[in-house]
Structure 1
Amino acid sequence: MLKKLSQFTLALIGLTVLFSSCKKDYESIQVVDGRKIQDYITANKLTVTEDSLKSGYFYQILTQGAGTVNYATSDTVLYNVTVKGLENGNVYWASAIQGNRGTLAGYVNGLTSSDGTMSANIPALRDVVLRLKPGGSARILLPSYLAYGKNGVGVVPSNENIDLLINTFPEKSQNVLDDRLINDFIKKNSLTMTKGPTRVYYNVSTAGTGTTPISLTSTITAKYTGRFLDGTVFDSNTDGTFVTTLNSLVLGWGDVIPGKLTKGGKIRILIPSDRAYGSAGKGSVPSNAVLDFDIEIVDVTN
């Protein structure tokens, strides 16, 4: 009996040792992400600061901004962001290319792309913005669990560490910012433009030879190309099949075309965001985007 028990005990000990040797120690996502971020910092020789709560993100103030005080939670902040993968460098979203976002500094933690496919709650954004003055910029290295998580969002894959750039504008009014961006664009491209009463800038290259006046309710056939200020074309119809009325389009068209063009007329207009798609944006047009249109009136009927 003792012999059998002894053999059983030895067998049990053997199995315990076997299973123990096969057992794997799995690291937490916090440990994995932390190591990757530290490796990235070292490889790129970055000078960064760990967040005060040691939640896992690091930040680097690139430009402090103007003025004497940092943003307060109740201050309006106009900003844009670039979101890219930390390790692979893939740019998943760059609102800086076309438009900008705007909210109170205390609510900057929400981050949703224009098409709604990249939504996340990122408190690190708010925390870092409150360390900036208007016009300041910063870089934030985010572990995946503080960004888009284990499931990813939209084009961002699972467990993706994020290298995020936030750039704030010195202006606190979207109208003032739009006007500055338009004037910078005009100067850069040596354009001659007239500023209308609704802050839409325009240049009439051909008034047209038609006799039918254009009103907001006129049916017009037009050719057009719509661009962002970086030159990206977001919409166009150049075959003369676009038929519409001005009161069904963005306000900027109706602000300048009536009384200035007839059939055959051509105009270029730069539309501030509030006379275009505003803070909501639409389709491929992001929030607060200034638009650049070339328009030709093919036909007019009343």
Structure 2
Amino acid sequence: MNAANRYGWLVAIGVLLGASLTACKEASDPIGDEKRIQNDEEIKAYLSTNDISAQRTPEGLYYKVVSKGTSTQKPVIGDEVRVTYIARRLDGVLVDSSEISLNKPVRAVYGISKIPFLSDQAMSLLFEKPLLTEGDSAILFLPSYLSYGATGTLLFPAYTPVRLEMKVVSIRTEAEQIDDFVKDHSILITETTENGLRFGKTLSRPDSAEIKDGSVLQVKYTGRLMDYTVFDSGTLSVTVGSTSLVTGFTQGLLKMRAGEKANLLFPSTLGYGTQGSSPSIGPFAPLYFEVEIVSKTK
């Protein structure tokens, strides 16, 4: 039953059962309620002992902004959020960290995946209001219900609050990710279409056969994600215009002739969209292809 249906059902019988349902809900998770209170007391005691001044949200997240970046950019669903972090228990034990010394931030796709130690609610609190924007550094004190909750390990037991020192390294739309990729890897791009396909011909055969809808081709390709990871490569037989090809790939082939090579770079709207293609391509993933039309048989 979805949220809307539940709401409608409760309204319909609320006069008769509302009080009873509320009482049941309040008694449904006594351990969770107890831990909420306990976590809040633990965090307040830690802040007092260490003379740390932090703000508290109504949801129970404590935070202290250490430094502000120069950007006001906040993410929308599908944007890439990259952060560095150090996670500690309140007794000082180091639990986990990103590879700060190697400058390797962790990555999350906003609305799809999460930063370590942050629940969906915590992600929303930090970036929708927003409490943090690109370039900001902060110390977060998260009760367990805004972190890993009842899930635990030997090093980080269930219902453990966490101190998270975090810097928002970057927030990038798909277009900005593509811009960064082109710059960082010196990708030749000579044309950008209205729908976002970026195309660059690296080997020209102006006298060879044109590619049209229905052309049957042997295509050699390498596909990469924006971290330059290869997700697929090989040679395949394709019929241009068939539904087996993503839109960006087809549009790129139509700009080529037999024997030519090119770079194709396009947003998820021309690729695998909001669903991705498991297991290698996530939702909202821009894609880069190096392609060569080996032959045209039709």
Output the TM-score relative to the length of structure 2.
0.59
Please give the per-residue CA displacement for 1:120-178, whole angstroms capped at 9, x wherever unaligned.
531563256424586454544423222231036xxx9854656485749788xx5xx50
Give the distance between the partners of 2:217 and 2:47, measured in 1 at CA: 56
Give the distance between the partners of 1:243 and 1:121, measured in 2 at CA: 41
Partner of 1:267: 262
1:242 CA displacement: 5.6
2:288 alignment partner, one of 288, 292, 300: 292
Residue type of the alignment partner of 2:218: T
SS at match of 1:229: coil
Residue type of the alignment partner of 1:296: E
Q: Tell whether the 8 Å contact from 1:34 to 1:143 is kept in structure 2 after alignment.
A: no
In structure 2, relative to structure 1, the CA distance for the partners of 1:260 and 1:41 (3 Å cut) is: farther
In structure 2, relative to structure 1, the CA distance for the partners of 1:252 and 1:221 (3 Å cut) is: same
SS at match of 2:188: coil
2:191 is equivalent to residue 195 of structure 1: yes
1:209 CA displacement: 8.5
Q: Tell whether the 8 Å contact from 1:37 to 1:143 is kept in structure 2 after alignment.
A: no
1:39 CA displacement: 6.9
Give the distance between the partners of 2:165 and 2:64, measured in 1 at CA: 9
Q: Where in structure 2 are the equivalents of 1:222-301 lying within 5 Å?
A: 222-233=219-230, 235-238=231-234, 240-241=235-236, 243=238, 245-248=240-243, 249-262=245-258, 264-283=259-278, 284-301=280-297
Number of equivalences: 243
Please give the per-residue CA displacement for 1:206-240, whole angstroms capped at 9, x wherever unaligned.
2358955323433333222111222122x2223x2
Give the distance between the partners of 1:48 and 1:190, measured in 2 at CA: 46
1:88 alignment partner, one of 90, 95, 102: 95
Q: Where in structure 2 are the equivalents of 1:152-191 lying within 5 Å?
A: 158-159=158-159, 163=164, 165=166, 167=168, 174=173, 178=175, 180-191=176-187
Partner of 1:151: 151
SS at match of 1:122: helix
In structure 2, relative to structure 1, the CA distance for the partners of 1:141 and 1:255 (3 Å cut) is: farther
Identity, % of aligned positions: 22
Q: Tell whether the 8 Å contact from 1:226 to 1:293 is kept in structure 2 after alignment.
A: yes
Partner of 2:6: none
Q: Tell whether the 8 Å contact from 2:127 to 2:133 is kept in structure 1 after alignment.
A: no
Ranges in structure 1 where 5+ consecutive residues have no aligned partner: 1-27, 102-110
Larger Rg: 1
Q: Tell whether the 8 Å contact from 1:58 to 1:141 is kept in structure 2 after alignment.
A: yes
1:38 CA displacement: 7.7
Give the distance between the partners of 2:59 and 2:213, measured in 1 at CA: 58
Q: Tell whether the 8 Å contact from 2:223 to 2:233 is kept in structure 1 after alignment.
A: no
CA RMSD of aligned residues (A): 4.6
Residue type of the alignment partner of 1:80: V
Give the distance between the partners of 2:108 and 2:149, measured in 1 at CA: 26
Output the TM-score relative to the length of structure 1.
0.59
Ranges in structure 2 where 5+ consecutive residues have no aligned partner: 1-33, 89-93, 99-104
Partner of 1:125: 124
In structure 2, relative to structure 1, the CA distance for the partners of 1:246 and 1:136 (3 Å cut) is: farther
Residue type of the alignment partner of 1:258: L
Give the distance between the partners of 1:63 and 1:296, measured in 2 at CA: 46
Residue type of the alignment partner of 2:289: F
SS at match of 1:295: strand
1:79 CA displacement: 5.2
1:189 CA displacement: 3.4
Q: Where in structure 2 are the equivalents of 1:34-49 lying within 5 Å?
A: 35=42, 49=54
1:261 CA displacement: 2.6
Partner of 1:21: none
SS at match of 1:288: coil
Give the distance between the partners of 2:233 and 2:226, measured in 1 at CA: 19
